[in-house]
Every structure is written in C-alpha cells, then in structure tokens.
C-alpha cells in the first residue's frame, strides 16, 4: 500500500493505492476515472510508500516525484508493455485504468532502531 498525491482544482489530495513497480522503475497504479486522473496527457504527482516497526521505532520511507500518464489511453510500445503487468487493487470495482508514474526524483529516509535505554534510565527516581 502506498499513497498517491495529486493536485486537483488547485488543491492537493492524497489517496491510498495499491501499486507495482515495473522493471524500468515506473510505479503503476490501478484506478478508475476521477480525481487521480488528469485531463492532460501527463501531469505531476508524488507517490510515497513506507514501512515502520513501532516496537523499535525503525522504518523507511521512499518518495517518488514524476510525471504520470494513463497507460490505457496510449498505444506506444512502452505503454503496451506496462499494460501487461499486474497491479492488484484492494478497492472494489474493476479499476480499468492503469496509471504509470515515470520517476524524476526519488528520495528516501531510513530510521534505524533506537538503542535500548540504559538500565534504570527513565525510572523517575
């Protein structure tokens, strides 16, 4: 599960999405027509995915910023190849459209496990 950030009507919006990553680094998202799909041929989006371990306060986060396009609306060789890739959607309904994000900027952060507190630390005495 990741999050897709878009600007619609001049305002930011974020959606939880299922995703897959193609061998060329494109991030793929299944969707239906609506806010996530722009009227243009390409538009800027951000995609974020993370994982955390609450017990040791560790985790990681990756943000992909790039141009998105509706793969189901184009018939070039790259789009045809991406159309064959599987993206499982947890949301109900057919999710007939495939959105591909071409990464322009990829950033990330890793939070390493916090070392255990020394014995007696934080005991309040």
Q: What is the pLDDT of residue 121?
A: 61
Tell whether the model's pLDDT for residue 124 goes beyond 90.
Answer: no
Choose the CATH number for 2-110 among 3.40.190.170, 3.90.480.20, 2.30.110.10, 3.40.50.720.
2.30.110.10
Provide CB contacts within 8 A for 103, sequence distance 6+: 25, 26, 27, 64, 65, 66
Q: What is the pLDDT of residue 90?
A: 78
Percent of the chain with pLDDT over 90: 42
In this prediction, residues 7-12 reach a mean pLDDT of: 87
In this prediction, residues 39-44 reach a mean pLDDT of: 79
Residue of 116 and 5 predicted with greater confidence:
5
Q: Model-level pTM?
A: 0.79
Provide CB contacts within 8 A for 58, sequence distance 6+: 52, 111, 112, 113, 114
pLDDT (tens digit, 9 = 90+) per residue, 69-96?
988 877 788 888 888 777 877 777 777 7
Provide CB contacts within 8 A for 124, sequence distance 6+: none
Structural domain boundaries in the chain = 2-110
Q: How far apart are CA 47 and CA 62, in angstroms?
A: 8
Q: What average pLDDT is seen over the chain?
A: 85
Chain-centre distance for alpha carbon 51: 12
């Amino acid at each position: 599960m990741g999050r897709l950030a878009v600007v619609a009507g001049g305002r930011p919006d974020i959606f939880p999405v299922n995703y897959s990553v193609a061998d060329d680094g494109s991030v793929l998202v299944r969707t239906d027509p609506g806010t996530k799909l722009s009227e243009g041929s390409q538009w800027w989006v951000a995609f974020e995915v993370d994982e955390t371990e609450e017990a040791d306060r560790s985790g990681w986060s990756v943000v992909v910023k790039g141009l998105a396009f509706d793969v189901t609306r184009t018939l070039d060789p790259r789009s045809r190849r991406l159309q064959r890739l599987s993206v499982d959607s947890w949301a109900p309904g057919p999710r007939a459209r495939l959105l591909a994000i071409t990464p322009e900027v990829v950033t990330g952060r890793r939070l390493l496990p916090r070392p255990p507190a020394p014995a007696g630390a934080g005991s309040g005495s």
